[in-house]
Amino acid sequence: MITHEEKNNWNPRAAVLVLAVGIGMMVSLAPGSARADQGQQLPIMTVGYQSGTITAIYETTFLIDGRTFSLTPDAIVQDDTGKEVGTGALVVTAEVKYHLKKDQNDKIDRMVVYLPR
């Protein structure tokens, strides 16, 4: 049987245990906490991007699904892990997601290239 004194001691211990477990869960669920330790990067955010396949590459332009595009001078080209890869990663048949520069329907300022692994 639990005495009145033991019952009063139980509540603070339980509260501390619940608090410790709660903090531990919040820390383990923090964005990127586990991945950062493992050297993995978070997926690239591509909200508002268009998708397609590179169908041809020319000297200063390329085709995505038959439409002609070029990159802006400050365009960023990344792979799907977020690593900047540059235009050398562009190959025919590569799947891409791209963002068009505001008010220019044929200029890409950001692109994600999905490279084979």
Residue 12 vs residue 65, higher pLDDT: 65
The strand ranges marked E within 15-106 are: 50-57, 62-64, 67-79, 95-100
68-114: pLDDT as tens digits: 999 999 999 999 999 999 898 899 999 999 999 999 999 999 999 99
How far is residue 32's CA from residue 35's CA, in Å, rounded to a whole number?
5
How far is residue 81's CA from residue 42's CA, in Å, rounded to a whole number?
7
Q: Picking from 21-30, 31-40, 62-71, which range would have the lowest pLDDT averaged per residue?
A: 31-40
Q: Look over the chain and give the mean of its residue pLDDT values, rounded to a whole number.
A: 77
- At 20 the pLDDT is 53
Token pair of 22, please?
């709660």
Which residues, other chains included, contact 41 with Cβ-Cβ below 8 Å and sequence gap of 6+? Answer: 35, 81, 82, 83
Token pair of 63, please?
């085709």
